[in-house]
Structure 1
Amino acid sequence: MECAWKGRTNRCLGPARRRCGGCGAVAYCSASHQISHWSEHKEECDRLKQHMKHIDSLNEFPFTFSIQATIQVCEKRETRCSLLRKWGIHQLGMWLYECQCGTSVASFSCSSLTDNSWNLPDIMCPCNETVSSPSKHFCTWKEYYEWRSRERTSTACCLCRAACTFSWYGCTHRVYWTGSSTMDGQSFTLRKYARCISTDCSCRSTEDVSWGLHTSKSATVSMKLRRGFYHDCYRDIVKDSSPHLIIAPNAGIAAYSSWLPTIELIKEINVPAVFSDYCEEACNLGARYITSITGSPLSFPIQLNPFRQPMVVEDSALFLPCYSNCFLFGM
């Protein structure tokens, strides 16, 4: 936790151990820095106080390791690395991207989907898909895992960063991913599951485990990666097909001025857009920014994402717990 006044004028005098008595969400290195910050903080103090009341809801997950991955990480009794070590998956396969040890990795590539990428027993392997299509929209991780007939000891959910989930059954999706990808212009199709670690799992005996394995119609997801901002790539994207939905995970809309032309473009083309962010305050600031540009209220108000990643973000800027894709809102 850093001093909320860090980098302004005077240097910080030490660790930020002095918490705001009003909200309890921010901290300072000294009384002088707290006083200096009050002119800015007073506007957000009551709002952050309300956010802090939601801590129990933010930490609530149906998994057996929830307390370790939420409260104990916040209290620094555990770290992401220590949890992954306990589970025996630290720095293995795709798990490499779930802790600070993976920050030096340049990018994710399809070659990462090797036999040891999941390092999970067969009962948790993604290829053990349920045979029935879902009969309803899921509202919680618990409902989703019950439909998948999975044990809630599974650590695979910690890889789930996506803000929204798609129905793969008998459907074909075309996804354009824009941003800082080093794989600019590359395309690939998702047809296979990553193999699990168990030698007797069914995924070892088949060459191609399709996403639409249990349907009469094969389902695929084709992806094309583009380097750059969405508004710069838009003309090339619509040459193939017009977008039906725009999704921006962990968007940080209020933090980056580059969002302005993208928000203006989304308003112009009138396509539904869903954004997520790490905490409610980030969404609140992003929503205010959007409404100031569009002159219209949100069509999709800020709400807690039930499918947020169930491992807290370490060393967040606030004492308020932060999760990948924690809250959703849209225009």
Structure 2
Amino acid sequence: MDLHLKNLFGRFQEQFGSGPGLGPGSSTCLMKVEGVSPNFIKSIYKGSAALYRTEPWKRLRPCHLFGIRVGKDSDWSGKKQPFPCVQFIGGDGGDVGFYMFRSESDAKKMTGPRETIRVPNVELLRVSYEPEALMFPSNKRMIKSLSLEASGTDRFPVIDVARCMSSGELRFRNPTLEELRFVYAFMRAISLVHPLLQEDKDGAPKWSRMMYFETFIETVDVQWPPEMAKGHDLVAVTVSHPPGQAYEEKASSTASSTPTKYAEPPREEVFVDVRVNSNGVLRQCTLCEKEVHGDQSQCCAQCRAVVYCSSLCQKQHWKETHKSMCGLYKAMMEREEELAMKIFLFPCSADQPCKWLESLGIHQKGMWRRKCGCYAHCPLGLLPVKGGLWDSWGGLDDEEYPRDSPFHNHVRDGISSPILLSGWSEYYNLRSLPLSSPVADILSHPFTVYYILTALTISSKNLLLKGKEVILHYLGPEGELDWMPAFAEIGHLLNGSGNIHIVMVGPEVPTNLSGTTSGISSRVRVNLVRGNYQDEATYLPSPHIIVALNCGLESYSAWGGALELIKSRGVPAFFTEQSEILCANAKQVLRGAGLHITQPVTPNPFRSPVKTHCLSNNLPSYSNGFVLGVNT
């Protein structure tokens, strides 16, 4: 009799589940997903545990629908987001988990006060946190054999895709690998933004606080595990409430623009006199902006990123601002080793640019004159030019700079195509340059442009492959105006395929050069235009792509008009910033302009290897250090 009841209960559980709603899917198990690997499953369970620890069910109810966007639409099958709407379930008892819907309309149809309403022929993906004792044998075996991480106490996620048939019968299937990637990105994003799920109306009755909380929209960068990555390590994930909220509505939100996992202050307010070892280099106090020699300055003992003139300024800044940012700065400082390019044999730190250039024998020579302040009196773009390429590269030895010659042995099946590079090591090897050559410091600008054209934008890459011309608007050029010989290398990398027309627009273009065209190579020509982009764009050829390098989006009010124009045109636009904190600020500026960040912040493989010097902080900073994009 006991055996009969056990079998009967098993069939009942298989059909209806162990709690309210649709119940766990029959015999679904991630081990049965085609192409899945053990490491893939382990990553899913780690992401699930991270979400579970945030306990969103304490604040959310099924009526709270969230919009979710992971990367670009073109990253997914059918060129659309698989499950752009999410709701959390179980906040008022019973099982806990979340459901992902194909549309907001489907979510509203299926949302009831207590249960998920069955709607015929509507499919949803479900993640339910089940006690191990109530799970099907296949899932129990998987958990044990792979030593999977538990979510909470003895709970594990069950992931399935459910569909209610016209007959009312439920059909279950395993999610696909692509759907699991989408779920993983959502879980990691929620674990970053969960502090934004704050209860609103503190003075209202308890039931009211369950139903309402502050509207928000936030984009965070989620790192793919190696087994899930497809070309990029990071993906931009946007979570919003309500789902259809536009970026313009962000203005009234108090949400932070930085990943919230770093927003927590250190546990102890420790103020230690940590001296900055800068060999007497002049520094600047972050709070009072007083100039102080490096050997007399101090920095925060927690993050070691922010510079002060005294412990008094340090304590005051902690109370005013730094307490909420210290964790973020500490995380950025921890990436210093990762960002440093250790392959090079020349000094990669230029606290004192003149001395750095002197150590390499190129001070006040050729294009290097723009790397220190000795020629600041000379307008940009008007450095005196003595002779040929050897003079332009400051008299480096012949084998230390790129020659004006094509690359050989790069024709496949009789067809030439642009040479795709993954980083400096590959390029130096291709050109047979010694790693003691510092040319990467100047080549960073043209190579960042080439990297964007050939690796980050499919449309421009396809045009080049077809032998057509790509028109690129280059905003805010400065030192680049004197580095035209370096841009000629792009023409050789095109390898006989396609052409690039670069239109450089900015207020630093000399008046006497505005309107001129230079054919710096057979496949690259440059137009120079003086003025602000929004004022001159009408008279320029329509671009395929827009770039702005080391742009400092938060520092210049003139960017407002340019960003408005970029939004209206819908053209892919890419920006580089020198440090991660500048990128965080740039993201806020872009969102404030109504632009969606579709290319997440990633380290630029063609950043300058030379660490730049900032007066008031020690954060890792490199010319063209990080790249992000919109409209891609």
TM-score, normalised by the number of residues in structure 1: 0.80
C-alpha distance in 1 between matches for 2:574 and 2:284: 30
Matched to 1:189, the amino acid is: S
Which of 510, 517, 526 lines up with 1:188 in the alignment? 517
C-alpha distance in 2 between matches for 1:110 and 1:101: 12
C-alpha distance in 1 between matches for 2:534 and 2:343: 39
Q: Deviations over 1:224-280 (max 9, x none)?
A: 21222211111111xxx2101111000100122221121111111000011001111
- Aligned equivalent of 1:33: 313
Equivalent pair of 2:515/2:527 in contact (CA under 8 Å): yes
Structure 1 pair 113–264 and aligned structure 2 pair: CA distance change class (3 A) = farther
1:57-206 correspondence runs (5 A)? 57-65=338-346, 68-70=347-349, 73-74=350-351, 79-109=352-382, 112=385, 114-115=387-388, 116-118=391-393, 119-125=395-401, 126-133=403-410, 137-162=420-445, 163-165=448-450, 166=490, 167-170=493-496, 171-179=498-506, 180-183=508-511, 184-191=513-520
- Aligned equivalent of 1:207: none
Over aligned residue pairs, what C-alpha RMSD do you find? 2.3
Give the deviation of 1:177 after TM superposition.
0.8
Q: What is the DSSP-based 3-state SS (H/G/I as helix, E as strand, rest coil) of the residue aligned with 2:611?
A: coil
Equivalent pair of 1:188/1:223 in contact (CA under 8 Å): yes
Structure 1 pair 84–52 and aligned structure 2 pair: CA distance change class (3 A) = same
Equivalent pair of 1:303/1:327 in contact (CA under 8 Å): yes
Q: What is the DSSP-based 3-state SS (H/G/I as helix, E as strand, rest coil) of the residue aligned with 1:254?
A: coil
C-alpha distance in 2 between matches for 1:128 and 1:152: 20
Q: What is the DSSP-based 3-state SS (H/G/I as helix, E as strand, rest coil) of the residue aligned with 1:181?
A: coil
Equivalent pair of 2:517/2:527 in contact (CA under 8 Å): yes
Equivalent pair of 1:178/1:225 in contact (CA under 8 Å): yes
C-alpha distance in 2 between matches for 1:42 and 1:57: 25
Which of 275, 280, 286 lines up with 1:4 in the alignment? 286
Equivalent pair of 1:178/1:226 in contact (CA under 8 Å): yes
Q: Deviations over 1:127-179 (max 9, x none)?
A: 25431347763222001111222222222222224132244333322111111
C-alpha distance in 1 between matches for 2:324 and 2:532: 32
Q: What is the DSSP-based 3-state SS (H/G/I as helix, E as strand, rest coil) of the residue aligned with 1:308?
A: coil
1:205-284 correspondence runs (5 A)? 211=521, 219-237=522-540, 241-284=541-584
C-alpha distance in 2 between matches for 1:106 and 1:177: 16
C-alpha distance in 1 between matches for 2:291 and 2:617: 19
C-alpha distance in 2 between matches for 1:29 and 1:302: 32
Matched to 1:279, the amino acid is: S
Q: What is the DSSP-based 3-state SS (H/G/I as helix, E as strand, rest coil) of the residue aligned with 1:5?
A: coil
1:306-317 correspondence runs (5 A)? 306-317=605-616
Bigger Rg, structure 1 or 2: 2
Aligned length: 289
Matched to 1:224, the amino acid is: N
Equivalent pair of 1:130/1:149 in contact (CA under 8 Å): no
C-alpha distance in 1 between matches for 2:436 and 2:321: 44
Greater length-normalized contact order (CA 8 Å, ≥ 6 residues apart): 1
Structure 1 pair 108–14 and aligned structure 2 pair: CA distance change class (3 A) = closer
Segment of structure 1 superposing worse, 228-237 or 127-136: 127-136
Q: What is the DSSP-based 3-state SS (H/G/I as helix, E as strand, rest coil) of the residue aligned with 1:24?
A: coil
Equivalent pair of 1:187/1:222 in contact (CA under 8 Å): no
Q: What is the DSSP-based 3-state SS (H/G/I as helix, E as strand, rest coil) of the residue aligned with 1:320?
A: coil
Structure 1 pair 122–266 and aligned structure 2 pair: CA distance change class (3 A) = same
Q: What is the DSSP-based 3-state SS (H/G/I as helix, E as strand, rest coil) of the residue aligned with 1:303?
A: strand
Structure 1 pair 251–135 and aligned structure 2 pair: CA distance change class (3 A) = closer
Equivalent pair of 1:161/1:309 in contact (CA under 8 Å): yes
Q: Deviations over 1:32-81 (max 9, x none)?
A: 3223322222332211111000111222242211xx223xx45xxxx332
Equivalent pair of 2:575/2:628 in contact (CA under 8 Å): yes
- Aligned equivalent of 2:629: 330
Q: Deviations over 1:304-323 (max 9, x none)?
A: 11111122223443201321
1:286-301 correspondence runs (5 A)? 286-294=586-594, 296=596, 298-301=597-600
Q: Which runs of 4+ in 1 moved over 4 A?
A: 12-16
Matched to 2:610, the amino acid is: M
TM-score, normalised by the number of residues in structure 2: 0.43
Identity of aligned residues (%): 28
Give the deviation of 1:13 after TM superposition.
8.9
Matched to 2:449, the amino acid is: C
Matched to 2:331, the amino acid is: Q
Matched to 1:326, the amino acid is: G
Q: Deviations over 1:185-239 (max 9, x none)?
A: 2323234xxxxxxxxxxxxxxxxxxx4xxxxxxx3322121222211111111xx
Equivalent pair of 1:94/1:113 in contact (CA under 8 Å): no
Matched to 1:44, the amino acid is: M
Q: What is the DSSP-based 3-state SS (H/G/I as helix, E as strand, rest coil) of the residue aligned with 1:330?
A: strand
Which segments of 5 or more consecutive residues in structure 2 lack a partner in the other structure? 1-282, 411-416, 451-489
Q: What is the DSSP-based 3-state SS (H/G/I as helix, E as strand, rest coil) of the residue aligned with 1:138?
A: coil
- Aligned equivalent of 1:24: 304
Matched to 2:501, the amino acid is: R
C-alpha distance in 2 between matches for 1:26 and 1:58: 19
